[in-house]
């Protein structure tokens, strides 16, 4: 007896260049409706074409869309290269959908920027396009993804490394080349450096290491133009003093020079992130044609959710 399409089990193949695949991503994949989730650790770029073709050629063209690929890891550049290698390995009509979200960075950044955009509009009648955005911890996975999304939305975006101008400039140059952005790289290794950067910022964001206070009250005193501050850190101390993880547009208490500045906390961002990731995972089950999901798709989904 021939199986009906709806009887063909849905399978998500999860690629990671690391020795493990994130349990967080595996759980969300099952929650999104995939019936089987198969992890592939230690995947190298050279292995991608053969893995992809094993996935696409074991089902007929109609049923193969019940298979999909998720790209994890921690490095946005490697994830983007993996998508490119996987797309090149497809042989139409044998194609499957691909979704990249290394370290959850794309969906976290999407939720973060969507929340910032919403508060700018609601509280300050201001668009993200043209806003001056400074991202502390900006050379990490979430910082890079946040910088890309903000810059593509038209913001004047700077990513900040805590020690090295060279590192920040190299990251900015790499992703400007990859994504067509206009990110600027800079550094801040002292409170004076931080105060200089926040003094003219409309938006300040902390995506720095968990449990590290990046911007304290004394630095925030210099934030004269600040409209929105956002922090992805839930581990005490938070990255920006005065922001509670549950804040969603609460007045920012430690920026006295800024009028009506508001804060967005990690739990608020996290709720949007999880819903965004689940929505994109689920979309790979519903599509008639293969989709390739990255920064832009994550931000589009997060905007709708916010």
CATH number for the domain including 159? 3.40.50.720
The three-state secondary structure class of 201 is coil
Q: pLDDT tens digits, residue range 230-287?
A: 999 999 999 999 999 999 999 998 888 788 999 999 999 999 999 999 999 999 998 8
Exposure on the CB side of residue 182, measured as CA atoms within 13 A: 9
**pLDDT value, residue 259:** 81
6 pLDDT tier (thresholds 50, 70, 90): low
CA dist., res. 48 & res. 84, Å (int): 10
**pLDDT value, residue 2:** 45
- Percentage with pLDDT > 70 across the chain: 98
Phi and psi (nearest 5°) for 296? -60, -45
Q: 287 in a domain, yes or no?
A: no
**Residue-number span of the structural domain to which 39 is assigned:** 5-100
Q: pLDDT tens digits, residue range 89-139?
A: 999 999 999 999 999 999 999 999 999 999 999 999 999 999 999 999 999
Is 211 found in the same domain as 263? yes
Number of separate domains in the chain: 2
Is 217 found in the same domain as 146? yes
Is 92 found in the same domain as 209? no
Unique residue bearing structure tokens 């993880």: 245
Is 115 found in the same domain as 249? yes
Q: pLDDT tens digits, residue range 31-64?
A: 999 999 999 999 998 999 999 999 999 999 999 9
Whether 24 contacts 51, CB under 8 Å: no
Tell me the β-bridge partners of 149. Answer: none
Is 211 found in the same domain as 132? yes
Whether the pLDDT of residue 4 is over 90: the answer is no
**pLDDT value, residue 5:** 47
Is 233 found in the same domain as 189? yes
Is 220 found in the same domain as 123? yes
Whether the pLDDT of residue 295 is over 80: the answer is yes
Is 263 found in the same domain as 123? yes
């Amino acid at each position: 007896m021939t199986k009906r399409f709806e009887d063909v089990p849905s399978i998500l193949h999860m690629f990671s260049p690391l020795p493990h695949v994130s349990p967080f991503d595996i759980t969300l994949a099952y929650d999104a409706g995939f019936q089987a989730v198969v992890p592939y650790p230690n995947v190298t770029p050279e292995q991608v074409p053969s893995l992809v073709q094993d996935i696409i050629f074991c089902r007929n063209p109609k049923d193969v869309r019940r298979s999909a690929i998720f790209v994890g890891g921690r490095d946005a550049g490697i994830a983007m290269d993996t998508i490119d290698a996987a797309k090149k390995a497809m042989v139409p009509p044998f194609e499957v959908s691909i979704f990249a979200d290394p370290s959850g960075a794309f969906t976290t950044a999407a939720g973060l920027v969507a929340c910032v955009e919403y508060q700018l509009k609601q509280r300050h009648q201001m668009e993200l396009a043209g806003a001056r955005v400074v991202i502390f911890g900006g050379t990490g996975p979430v910082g890079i993804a946040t910088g890309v999304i903000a810059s593509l939305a038209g913001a004047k975006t700077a990513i900040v490394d805590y020690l090295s101008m060279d590192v920040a400039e190299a990251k900015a140059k790499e992703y400007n080349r990859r994504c067509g952005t206009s990110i600027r790289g800079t550094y801040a290794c002292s409170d004076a450096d931080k105060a200089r950067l926040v003094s003219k910022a409309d938006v300040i964001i902390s995506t720095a290491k968990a449990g590290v206070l990046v911007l304290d009250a004394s630095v925030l005193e210099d934030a004269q133009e600040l409209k929105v501050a956002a922090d992805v850190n839930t581990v005490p101390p938070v990255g920006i003093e005065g922001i509670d993880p549950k804040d969603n547009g609460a007045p920012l208490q430690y920026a006295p020079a800024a009028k009506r500045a508001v804060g967005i906390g990690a739990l608020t961002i996290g709720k949007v992130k999880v819903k965004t990731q689940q929505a994109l995972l689920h979309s790979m089950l519903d599509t008639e044609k293969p989709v390739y999901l990255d920064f832009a798709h994550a931000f589009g989904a997060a905007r709708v959710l916010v």
